[in-house]
Amino acid sequence: MKYISCIHLEHGITFFSNSVQICCISSHPGGGNIIEINNYKGEIINWDELFKKRNVMREKIREGNIPEKCSGCYYLKESDWNTDNYIDEVLIGHFTHCNCNCIYCYTDKDKKFFNTNKTYNIYPVIKDMIEKGVLSKNATITFGGGEPTILDEFEELVYLLLDYDVYNIRIHSDGIKYSPAIEKGLKLGKITLITSVDSSSAKVYEKIKRVSCFDNVWKNLKKYAKTKNGLIRTKYVLMPGVNDNLHEIKNWMKMTYEAGIRNIAFDIEDNWFKANRNSIPQYIYVIFDFVFNSYQQYNLESCELYERASNLKIDRDNKIKPEK
């Protein structure tokens, strides 16, 4: 039966520091953040109970009643959805500790709190999902955060997923700490590594990241790139007034190629985008068009648009006109 839904509503789960949600998408008009378990601290989940509640929601969706919080989300589409009970979209974002200090991070409002906030161990929960057949081997596992490589259980957790033969593990890492588990996953072709460098010079990098790790990050990226099999993307989060110039962006793409990496990702800073979505300055479109239409000129193979960048493209495709 065909109906409008999305991969997250059907088979997704997101682990945050104090809740279990369906997804983490939040830039659309509805705002997202559908909570399934509140005040969550890493307890083993009653999957029968969770799927029972999920199926009630699914039935409403099949009747055309999309959750209000999903209103306007670009993930919604009509499809012949599989209604079996399993999870194949997992975001692990229960940790907020980081060895970086990005000015655009949501934790910047209280860095001391987020860097000392006690987190739970997600390893037993993922292991339980595997043992009970809840987690599909076709699942996409995404590490957000926080910085995943500084989690005590990170290496063990990645090896667990690799041994289970999950072949689509996406890890967002700042690249400061080198990970043997990431290296192994890249060699096996099962990991996609995304590192937000947001710059092509130490000066701009340090302005955004507020740590002096520019050379170390690129050294680690070059080392990861030697694994050959895995997919690595350097990511550029556009911050108007900070790194919004074509010189920095052109050099970022050049440095990516020179590091042995052939794929990039592009996004726009979250708070700025939400505040300016209906009055985007023309020069932002110029930058967007340059990145999206010119990456192949730098011998790069793909450009992945993240949430805000995807919304920017959709808005314009829907004829929301930029500010003159």
pLDDT at 235: 98
Identity of the residue numbered 52: K
Q: Which two tokens stand for residue 121?
A: 């161990």
Q: Where are the alpha helices (DSSP H) in 98-245?
A: 111-116, 123-131, 154-163, 180-187, 202-209, 214-225
Q: Both tokens of residue 153?
A: 């259980």
Token pair 């690595």 is at which residue? 232
By 3-state DSSP, what share of the chain in percent is helix, strand and coil, each rounded to 5? 40, 20, 40
Helix (H, G, I), strand (E, B) or coil at 262: coil
> Measured between alpha carbons, how far is 198 from 195 in angstroms, rounded to an integer?
9
The answer to whether the CB of 119 falls within 8 A of the CB of 97 is yes
**pTM higher than 0.85:** yes
Nearest alpha-carbon partner for 122 in 102, 137, 141, 98: 141
CA distances from 129 to 34, 105, 135, 164, 170 (A): 21, 30, 5, 11, 18
**Angle between the 282-294 and 307-317 helix axes, to the nearest 10 degrees?**
110
**pLDDT given for residue 324 in this prediction:** 44
CB 17 within 8 A of CB 39: no
Per-residue pLDDT 10s for the chain (324 aa) are 799 999 999 999 999 988 999 998 887 889 888 999 999 999 999 999 999 999 999 999 999 999 999 999 989 999 999 989 999 999 999 988 889 999 998 777 776 767 677 789 999 999 999 999 999 999 999 998 789 999 999 999 999 999 999 999 999 999 999 999 999 999 999 999 999 999 999 999 999 999 999 999 999 999 999 998 889 999 999 999 999 999 999 999 999 999 999 999 999 999 999 999 999 999 999 999 999 999 999 999 999 999 899 989 988 988 655 454
pLDDT value at residue 26: 83
- Collect all residues with Cβ–Cβ distance below 8 Å to 46 and sequence separation of at least 6: none
Instruction: State the Cα angle at 188 between 292 and 6, rounded to 5°.
Output: 50
CA 160 to chain centre: 21
Nearest to 17 by CA among 101, 106, 132, 129: 106
